[in-house]
Structure 1
Amino acid sequence: MKDAGFGVLLALQFLTRLPVPLSCPWTPATRRWAARAYPLVGALVGAILAAAGMLLEEMVPLPLLTLALLSLWVALTGGLHLDGLMDLADALGSNAPLEKRWAIMKDPQVGSFGMLALVFQLAWKAALLWALLAAGASPWWLVPVVALGRLAAVGLLVSQPAARAEGLAHAWQQSLGRRDLVLASLPALACLFFVPGMGWLLAWLLVGMAGFVIIYGRAVRRAFGGINGDIVGAAIEGGELWLLLIAWSWWSFVMA
């Protein structure tokens, strides 16, 4: 159980900016438990966002509430996954040969395609958050959205090869198998019991996320030969946006 505890703390350290006043060992066992805890950490981030939404929704106008939640969302993750999205956008936008795309992705400077990706990602997230809240959706629906976004990362690590035998993605993969993906799915399934009114929406979110992982995984494998840390981080951002779109569609057309 000590490995499981350290794994959860590693996931917190890696995926969020929440303070963890411990030095956690980096071993195959703790890496495995950390990956299993990705959706659990996502659910925690979603719960913090939802609690903030419930606290502020009667105090501030909807536009300010939307901006506050999005700002908190970025602050809790430290913009880590947005950084991966920008690196991926710069590499793809360059239309360069494979080795040049890898060099662009590793470059710490952000190019024009990365900035465009950042702007549109945040704009679409803000618009969908606003639309969901305006339609009367509970902020607690953010819990499965953020949790499943992290489950997408685990799905990629299990289903797609690392492009190169180096980096964090390759290190995580050495400890993971399909059983770990199943265990990582449990926090998302728990939303059926702890998040009111989820029911069929959660089923659609799970199906939508599975489809996203398959399509995105094939696309990046064709473009880069496999995955790396930036590609996994971009999948979390893209997955969250896709799930927000599914949730808005459900609320607008099914629940209306």
Structure 2
Amino acid sequence: MKAAMFGLLLAVQFLTRLPVPLACPWTPATRRWAARAYPLVGALMGGILGAVGTLLEAVVPLPLLALALLSLWVALSGGLHLDGLMDLADALGSNAALEKRWAIMKDPQVGSFGILALVFHLAWKGALLWALLDAGASPWWLVPIAALGRLGGVGLLVGMQAARPEGMAHAWRQSLTRRDLLLAVPVPLALLAWVPGGAWLALGLGAFIIIYGLAVRRAFGGLNGDIVGAAIEGGELWLLLIAWSWWSFAMA
């Protein structure tokens, strides 16, 4: 149980900027438990967003509410996954050979493709969040969306090989098996049973991860931390689109 507790705290430390005043051991056991807790931490982030949204929705206009929730969403993660999105966009936008793409991804400088990806990603995410709330959905819908986004990251770590024998993704990947993915599923599965249209969110996430995984395998030969982070951001955006579509058409 100690490994499970440390694993949960490690996941909170790694995925969020929530204060955890404890040094967690970095071992294969704690990494396995941390990966299993990814969706739970996503649900925690979504719960904070849902609570804040519920408090503000009666007094704040929808555009400002969507912007406030988006800002808090970024702040909770510290922009961790957005950094991966920008690095991936710069590497793909270069249209360079494989080794050059890897060098660009490791470069701490952000290029024009990364900036454009960040701007349009946040614009679409904010617009879809606004549209989802305007369609009548509760801010608590963000709980399953954030949980599923991080489940997608675990799915990639388990299902794909690391492209290089180095870095965070390789370290996580070495410790994980399919059992860890199965143990990460109960939290988002319970959340999907709680929201209308949950099956569509699950199917949408599965389709996104399969297509994304095939695309990055072709482009890079495997994954690294930036690719996993970009998948979490992309998965959340895709799930927002599915949720808005459901509320706008199926619930109309």
Q: Same fold (TM over 0.5)?
A: yes
Residue aligning to 2:203: 207
Residue aligning to 2:239: 243
Q: How far apart are the structure 2 equivalents of 1:185 and 1:142?
A: 17
Q: Secondary structure at the match of 1:174?
A: helix
CA RMSD of aligned residues (A): 0.7
Q: How far apart are the structure 1 equivalents of 2:198 and 2:142?
A: 11
Q: How far apart are the structure 1 equivalents of 2:176 and 2:190?
A: 22
Instruction: Please state if 1:221 is matched with 2:217.
Output: yes
Q: How far apart are the structure 2 equivalents of 1:77 and 1:32?
A: 20
Where structure 2 has 5 or more consecutive residues not aligned to the other structure, the ranges are none
The CA deviation at 1:202 is 1.2
Q: Where do 4+ consecutive residues of structure 1 move more than 3 Å? A: none
Which deviates more from structure 2 when the two are superposed, residues 183-192 or residues 76-85? Answer: 183-192
TM-score, normalising length from structure 2?
A: 0.99
2:98 counterpart letter in structure 1:
L
Instruction: Please state if 1:133 is matched with 2:133.
Output: yes
Q: Secondary structure at the match of 2:175?
A: coil
- Number of aligned residue pairs: 252
Deviations 1:25-74 (A, max 9, x none): 00000000000000000000000000000000011111110110000000
The CA deviation at 1:192 is 4.2
Residue aligning to 2:153: 153
Following superposition of structure 1 onto structure 2, how do residues 93-242 of structure 1 map, counting pairs within 5 Å? 93-192=93-192, 195=194, 198-199=195-196, 201-242=197-238
TM-score, normalising length from structure 1?
A: 0.97
Q: How far apart are the structure 1 equivalents of 2:155 and 2:192?
A: 20
Instruction: Please state if 1:5 is matched with 2:5.
Output: yes
Cα pair 2:39 2:184 within 8 Å, conserved: yes
The CA deviation at 1:179 is 1.0
Where structure 1 has 5 or more consecutive residues not aligned to the other structure, the ranges are none
2:177 counterpart letter in structure 1:
G
Q: Percent identity?
A: 80
Deviations 1:188-234 (A, max 9, x none): 012146x4xx14x1111111111111110010000000000000000
2:227 counterpart letter in structure 1:
I
